[in-house]
Structure 1
Amino acid sequence: MPMTAKNHAAMSVVKRFIDVDVQQAALALEGLPEAEAALLLCGLPVTSVAICLDHSRPDFAAAVVQKLVPEPAASVLARMEPDHAADIIRALPAPARHEVLAGLPPGLSRHVSEIMTYPEGSAGRLMKTSVLAFYKDLRVREVMARLRAKSTKRAHSYAYVVGDEHKLLGVLNMRDLIMAQSDQTLEGIMRQVFCIPAFTDQEELGRLARDKNFIYLPVVDAHGRLLGAVRAKDILESSADQASEEMQTLFGAGSEERALSPLRLKVIRRLPWLHVNLATAFLAAGVVALFQDLISRLAVLAVFLPIVAGQGGNAGVQSLSVVLRGLGLREVRPRDAARLIGAEMAAALINGLVIGAVTAGVAWLWRGNPALGLIVGVAMVVNMVASGLAGAAIPVAMKRLGFDPAQSSGIFLTTVTDVVGTFAFLGFAALFESRLH
């Protein structure tokens, strides 16, 4: 479509917006449908498009880039930070991904492809590749001159010192650099550095973020070559995202789902687990059906049935949340499983005795029947102990079987608490029915 004077003026305004406040420009762009955003960006210089998409969410940027394949998509991504370009390309469908990688310069294509091989949440996926690094034999005055020549708005507190083959040797504190003699080499003023392999997983990164006070941690490959650096802020954000995903999968929602995800995605991700939940609900209903004649004779049992099941569910969720956190933070190892399950059952037993006694007292005072109180109390203890066992054993078992411990553990836990609580309460009531009339 030919560029009219009106369109040219509009493009100039958009470009100016990006130049003045790229963050707000990116947010405004994300408020548009992907097709309109792509159409708008097509009229801008490639550099402006790259800057804007570099500040956009990877999923949105990928949706826009997909409409620009093969060009100017490859040219845009070639001007972006390699780590962000890798996030965007990874989110593209396979055909578009191959086209874009083929359109990148060979060296950059290999670099981006390497970044894309790192697992989700690993140091290689979270690292920033644009870090300051200087050769060990450079003198202080040379480094100072290079820093002055760099036109960057970002302040650097540290730089890294590398040797042959870009192998990481140490870290350079900017204060040390300023205080050093101008003819000293970096090797003489650098400090020892703690680094992490690119394949360090999210759990280990989280532990390092808690145990070590750092802003950045350098990331190296298997040969000790500097690849980039990961920020503590990014680790914490990634851990928070992981926690929210586990919360969703715990109750059967897809980890990919977001608050404003399309309706189709919401339905597709939730419906399978709702079917599983429905099947388990029928299982619990089947237990109730076994005792329907008893309930028709003693309607008071229906009053206490949800109390017994509900308290068991609460006890199970408490155990489940503690165990999931322990597994996620590596506080719990496979050999600790028996001790962990025993501790959770002991806690559930004590809590069950207390809650069961209170519930039994209320039932006795309300109906004036000590047998009813005893049955309610004993059923409460049994269900809470079973729930504590299930809350600890289900995630441990899923971990040992190689599954995600958070994957819908809540649904299976609910099944246990409903079935055991219902069967225990109504079973005891059936045994001692003569004392309840």
Structure 2
Amino acid sequence: MTEAETDTPAEVDLGDLVREGGAAELAAYVEELDARETARAICELEPEEQTMLLSRLGPEQAGEVLETLPDVTATEAIESLPAETAAAILHELPSDDQADLYKSLDSIDAAAILAELDSDEAERITELASYPDDTAGGLLATEVVALRDIASVGRTVERLRGDADRLRRLDIQYAYVVAKGRRLVGVLRLRDLLLAEDDTKLETIMIREPLSIPADMPLAELETFFDDHAFLGVPVVDGEGRLVGAVSRVAVDEATQDQATSDYRRSMGVVVEELRTMPTLRRSRLRLAWLSINIVLNVVAASVIAAYQETLSQVITLAVFLPIISDMSGCSGNQAVAVSMRELSLGLIRPNEWLRVWGKEAAVGVINGLALGLLIGLVSGFYDGNVWMGLVVGSALAANTLLAVLLGGVLPLALKQMKVDPALASGPILTTVTDMCGFFLVLSLAALMISRLVG
């Protein structure tokens, strides 16, 4: 067969290969795909084909495939496998991925899979899974080189050579030196290890009092740590100074990006991760769960307009400016929400500091409200040919802008204090309140000045 006649990965249907191809052929095909191609091809398979694929690949290659998939797809795929097969694949994953996948599994499936693993490994996975995702403990990997301080260079090098197969998989720059009880006491450069005499003790060539971080350090502080230090990774210790693992700069960067993506997704009403390869009815149900709440909130806002139908019918020009007032106030409020969300994530404010936030936002709200109110007032007055129309519309927007930034600034803090996800609830609440208040302000002011607006 000529080179031109040879099938490329893009020309082969993975589903056909899963159902009809040989195991070696399937493994070779998947090996040729890069991470993006793998994820795309597998997400396009039917659920039963995904199960067949993982079952037919070896555990190591199946683990590599899982690492390329979106979290929701990886979870569903591993849950569909027999517990023994799933455990073999889970065993091949890095420790941080093991913990993440374990946490996402149904409790019954998770227990069945853990029962198939070695007790020490199962205990380590459950311990890592106990840390919150946005902390050092939730991001750390346990695959580190930990050496005893009293060991000699010769014995250490011999030990490392004996463990060469495992160590080749790790990106090792440093080894961590521990005392009895796995207490972190130093960091060892591999260069220093190789150049030292065989009978030299590690405690004499290690870097003492190394920088380390606690397992409960939040993501925002991890970002700051790596901004301040040009490290590729840092050791993580528990409350008693024992080495737990290490967090890499790459892991922190990925977690930060994932958090931003998740916050944006939830602010748009996509509460659970959704992929277009999911069943249509399931996707519809996920979206409707949120949209149905929003329609109720919008009906509440629209009820204000219904209460002022007579005023609106007499001054129909107001209908032109109602959506402008609603939209501009919402935008101003969302800016305040974004600032509060960011400061909360960085630890710059606490949920109970609403009074300070309110004061800061009030100043911005007054300035921006006056500026926007003046601008829309001039436009509406010129459009209608009535200076009173400009006064009504401009005043309503100015007041509603102030209200929007005050509410937008403190709403995330209040929701955080009530243990409600600010990214999920801030937007709909803010939009409903600013719509209601905006409609009420402009229509009530118009009702008070109806004689000047109509006459």
Q: TM-score, normalised by structure 1?
A: 0.88
Q: CA deviation at 1:113?
A: 2.1
Give the aligned residue type for 1:307.
Answer: I
Note if contact 1:251-1:408 (Cα within 8 Å) is conserved in structure 2.
no
Work out the number of aligned pairs and report it: 432
Aligned residue for 1:12? Answer: 24
Could you say if the C-alpha distance between residues 268 and 120 of structure 1 is closer, same or farther in structure 2, counting changes exceeding 3 Å?
farther
Q: CA deviation at 1:388?
A: 0.9
- Mean Cα displacement is larger for which, 384-393 or 9-18? 9-18
How far, CA to CA, are the matches of 2:72 and 2:51 in structure 1? 14
The one-character-per-residue Cα deviations of 1:242-300 (angstroms, maximum 9, x if unpaired) are 22222222243204334655434433333233222222212221111222112211211
Structure 1, unpaired ranges of 5+: 1-5
Aligned residue for 1:186? Answer: 202
Note if contact 1:123-1:230 (Cα within 8 Å) is conserved in structure 2.
yes
Question: Within 5 Å, which residues of 2 pair with 1:296-375?
Answer: 296-375=313-392
How far, CA to CA, are the matches of 1:61 and 1:361 in structure 2? 57
Aligned residue for 2:13? Answer: none
The one-character-per-residue Cα deviations of 1:142-178 (angstroms, maximum 9, x if unpaired) are 4444445524155421111111122211112234445
How far, CA to CA, are the matches of 1:416 and 1:105 in structure 2? 55
**Partner SS, residue 417 of structure 1:** helix
- Do structure 1's residue 198 and structure 2's residue 210 form an aligned pair? no
How far, CA to CA, are the matches of 1:258 and 1:326 in structure 2? 30
How far, CA to CA, are the matches of 1:63 and 1:417 in structure 2? 40
How far, CA to CA, are the matches of 2:134 and 2:449 in structure 1? 56
- Do structure 1's residue 122 and structure 2's residue 135 form an aligned pair? yes
The one-character-per-residue Cα deviations of 1:34-73 (angstroms, maximum 9, x if unpaired) are 4223324434444544454466555444433333323333
**Partner SS, residue 147 of structure 2:** strand
CA RMSD of aligned residues (A): 2.8
Could you say if the C-alpha distance between residues 252 and 64 of structure 1 is closer, same or farther in structure 2, counting changes exceeding 3 Å?
closer
Identity of aligned residues (%): 34
Q: CA deviation at 1:418?
A: 0.8
Give the aligned residue type for 2:175.
Answer: A
- Do structure 1's residue 250 and structure 2's residue 262 form an aligned pair? no
Could you say if the C-alpha distance between residues 52 and 379 of structure 1 is closer, same or farther in structure 2, counting changes exceeding 3 Å?
closer
Q: CA deviation at 1:216?
A: 0.9
Aligned residue for 2:449? Answer: 432
How far, CA to CA, are the matches of 2:304 and 2:68 in structure 1? 55
Could you say if the C-alpha distance between residues 186 and 34 of structure 1 is closer, same or farther in structure 2, counting changes exceeding 3 Å?
farther
Could you say if the C-alpha distance between residues 294 and 11 of structure 1 is closer, same or farther in structure 2, counting changes exceeding 3 Å?
same
Note if contact 1:295-1:302 (Cα within 8 Å) is conserved in structure 2.
yes
Note if contact 1:357-1:377 (Cα within 8 Å) is conserved in structure 2.
yes
Question: Within 5 Å, which residues of 2 pair with 1:82-121?
Answer: 82-121=95-134
Give the aligned residue type for 1:246.
Answer: D
Note if contact 2:350-2:413 (Cα within 8 Å) is conserved in structure 1.
no
**Partner SS, residue 408 of structure 1:** helix
Note if contact 1:22-1:51 (Cα within 8 Å) is conserved in structure 2.
no
Question: Within 5 Å, which residues of 2 pair with 1:372-387?
Answer: 372-387=389-404
How far, CA to CA, are the matches of 1:32 and 1:8 in structure 2? 14
Could you say if the C-alpha distance between residues 293 and 154 of structure 1 is closer, same or farther in structure 2, counting changes exceeding 3 Å?
same
Could you say if the C-alpha distance between residues 188 and 9 of structure 1 is closer, same or farther in structure 2, counting changes exceeding 3 Å?
same
The one-character-per-residue Cα deviations of 1:280-322 (angstroms, maximum 9, x if unpaired) are 2122211112221122112111122222222111111111111
Q: TM-score, normalised by structure 2?
A: 0.85
How far, CA to CA, are the matches of 2:309 and 2:20 in structure 1? 77
**Partner SS, residue 12 of structure 1:** helix
**Partner SS, residue 194 of structure 1:** coil
